[in-house]
Amino acid sequence: MNSENKPTGETPETPGTPGTPGTPGKPAGEPSGATPAATPGTTPGEEAPRASLPAPDAPGAPEAPEAPETAERPQQLTGRQRLAAGLWPPRVTRAQLVVALLLFGLGLGLAIQVASNNDDTALRGARQEDLVRILDELDNRTQRLEDERQRLDDQRTELENSSDQAEEARKQTREKEQQLGILAGTVAAQGPGITLTVDDANGTVTPDMLLDALQELRAAGAEAIQVNDVRVVAGTFFSGTGGDVQVDGKPVRTPYSFKVIGKPQDLEPALNIPGGVVQTLEKEQATATVTRAEKIIVDALRAAKRPDYARSSSR
């Protein structure tokens, strides 16, 4: 027998068998018969190439991306909630407070200015002749009030300095009675003044126009007035139509004559101002003539009438 024959039952070792020294590619301890799974792109039986990772300290090696942290998303706010959060609590700085105070002062000043301008709206829309008439009436009224104040001061001085105060008081009482009689139309009066004559041949002058003339004369300081033969008092009224005018229920005929006692320098301009009584009557084809006189006599009288309800409050 050949001594080199191997015993029966033993399988000859082949290269690459695990446990055989010098066998490359198989690590020791790997079980026999284990075949690695074929990777895509390789044929069975071939070993897949191993991916080589760069060393951590190799220069230029890309860093591994970090896993994103999962944070909780904030709750979405509605528009109303954002508005409420922006308005409350209020955040007022010192500069904003100063600006607010300045704006408040500016608004207050503008409001006062607008209010004062509204008070002058009526005068701004008036015509030039109306403004002239208003100024004249104000000047005349101021002058009359000053004269009345001076007269009352003189009466008080006379009462204080008079030796017989009772007699002086009776004298002033009689003078006051005469003045009240002139205003009431119970006594005749005379003095300087004017005469206004209105000739209405076409019958176009209405009672309203004559009433306007009367009001202008009163505003200019007339103290006693007579229209034709009717005495004008506080309750005088005009009625009727053009060409058929009545004063206090009594018919008066053209020409209409106004006898007026007062200061001629005030009465005549009040009638002749632009757009005044004279120009209005002339537009109606009537003739208005104003004549000054040093002595005007108003002799139409009214019967003294006792008031039905009014009584003197003096005791």
pLDDT, residue 9, reads: 46
pLDDT greater than 50 at residue 97:
yes
Chain-centre distance of CA 220, in angstroms? 36
Residues 132, 135, 138, 141: is their CA dihedral positive or negative?
A: negative
Q: Is the pLDDT of residue 225 over 50?
A: yes
Cβ distance 255 to 198 under 8 Å?
yes
Query: Whole-structure pTM over 0.75, yes or no?
Result: no
pLDDT tens digits, residue range 171-209?
878 888 888 888 888 899 999 999 999 999 888 999 999
Q: What is the per-residue pLDDT for 4? A: 45
Determine phi and psi for 310, rounding to 5 degrees: -75, 135
In this structure, which topology does domain 190-304 adopt according to CATH? Alpha-Beta Plaits (3.30.70)
Q: Which residue has the higher pLDDT, 195 or 131?
A: 195
At 29, is the pLDDT very low, low, confident or very high (cuts 50, 70, 90)?
very low
List the 250-252 sheet strands across, edge first: 238-241, 244-247, 250-252
Checking if the pLDDT of 295 tops 80, the result is yes
* 127 vs 43: which has the higher pLDDT: 127
Where residue 119 falls among pLDDT bands split at 50, 70, 90? low
pLDDT recorded at residue 290: 93
Q: Counting Cβ atoms within 10 Å, is residue 21 exposed (0-12), middle (13-18) or buried (19+)?
A: exposed
State the Cα–Cα distance between residues 171 and 45, nearest whole angstrom.
158
pLDDT at residue 250, rounded to an integer: 93
pLDDT at 20: 44
Residues 262-290, mean pLDDT to the nearest whole number:
90
User: Is the CB of residue 295 less than 8 Å from the CB of residue 191?
Assistant: yes
pLDDT over 50 at 23, yes or no: no
High-pLDDT (> 90) share of the chain, %: 27
Average confidence (pLDDT) over 263-268: 91
Q: How far apart are the first and last CA of the chain?
A: 184
Mean pLDDT of 62-88: 65
Confidence of residue 112 (pLDDT cuts 50, 70, 90): confident
Residue 147 confidence (pLDDT): 87
**256 in Cβ contact with 200 (< 8 Å):** yes
- pLDDT value at residue 73: 59
Q: Which residue has the higher pLDDT, 1 or 89?
A: 89
Average pLDDT over every residue of 20-41: 47
On average, the pLDDT of the chain sits at 76
Q: How confident is the model at residue 32 (pLDDT cuts 50, 70, 90)?
A: very low
Whether the CB-CB separation of 239 and 246 falls below 8 Å is answered with: yes
Sheet with 224-227, side-by-side order of all strands: 230-232, 224-227, 256-261, 189-199, 287-298
CA distances 30 to 18, 33, 49, 141, 173, Å, are 7, 9, 18, 136, 153
Q: What is the mean pLDDT of residues 260-269?
A: 92
Give which of 220, 300, 221, 202 is closest to 257, Cα–Cα.
Answer: 300
Segment 105-123 mean pLDDT: 74
Task: Categorize the per-residue pLDDT at 134 as very low, low, confident or very high, splitting at 50, 70 and 90.
Answer: confident
